[in-house]
Amino acid sequence: MIVLREQEGKAGVPPRQRELAEYLRFGIALIDKPCGPSSHETSAFTRRILSVFGVEKTGHSGTLDPDVSGVLPVMLGAACKASGFLSKERKKYVCITRFEKPVERKSLERAFQRFRGKIYQTPPLASAVARRLRVREVFSLDVLELDESKRFALFECDVEAGFYVRKLVEDLASVLDNAAVMAELRRTEAAGFREAECVTLQELSDRVWLARERGNEAPLRECVLPIEEGIHLKRVVVDDDALRPITTGANVAIPGICSFDEEIARGEAVQVLSLKGELVCFADALLSSEEIKKRRNGLAFDVSRVIQAF
């Protein structure tokens, strides 16, 4: 972090110290989506459960098919404005594949070698996006287990956003000359959130009851993170005097900047924070980090989306 000047902030409150209703309005609920409901329905269930605290809007990050379970970050209230950034983050899955004919582990591992790194992929017919050939990166792809019949394989993959595991299974079957179907799929990580951090809808409901009826907010706060802890963009911290102009239409000028991350490139998306650590807005860099260090005046960041007013 490059510090231009030290200053103590007075506006706002640290994200973890917000009152519960405000905490939820800028939060991300970490939900363990069950098989059955769609991601949209799971998001709607989350909204109904949290509506007792004034949550009126929810949105999810990264769609899961109804028959797929696992990590589903659900943005609450104003945090929905950040869904576009969270949905671009990489994800991890574990998958059980059923083959028509027995397959040897060595053959399976050799086939997997062809699907690591950047590969071409066309979304499956059932997908909600255009079926156009595109490039997606597979960061890791490993066989975890092969059952005694050698027809059921469990594997794990770490992939770029927008990757279709179902299509991977189809392509894998083609390489092995062996019909295969995706028997079960679970997302174990999304946008840095892991399944161990998530709660089921029933558990979320129980924690809401504890907060309302027993005044115990801690369990609910444990499964809802402040939006500030879910965004992984480079950071720019501005002083209190810059907050109101930024949230009413002004761009970020160099005199209002207190500190910023190194190696910001022109055109790169960043998150702008208050001195208390609250997310103010998203912006695109008009200057690089090196250029900002050398100047005293001028605009440095073009505000693209305001998250909260001050």
Distance, CA of 36 to chain centre: 22
How many residues comprise the chain? 310
Separation between Cα atoms, residue 191 and residue 30, nearest integer Å: 11
Q: What is the DSSP letter of 231?
A: -
Q: Is 142 a catalytic residue?
A: no
Exposure class string for 59-87: b at 16+ Cβ within 10 A, else e: bbbbebbeebbbbbbbbbbbbbbbbebbb
User: Which string of DSSP letters, residue by residue, matches 201-212?
Assistant: HHHHHHHHHHHH
SS3 69: strand
Alpha helices in the chain (DSSP H): 20-25, 39-50, 83-86, 105-113, 165-176, 201-213, 218-223, 240-247, 289-294
* Strand pairing class (117-121; 193-194): unpaired
Q: What is the DSSP letter of 199?
A: B
* Structure token digits, residue 203: 């558990």
Given the residues 32, 65, 239, 240, select the one marked as catalytic.
65
Angle CA 24–27–30, to nearest 5: 110
Separation between Cα atoms, residue 111 and residue 25, nearest integer Å: 46
* Strand pairing class (193-194; 180-190): antiparallel
Catalytic residues: 65
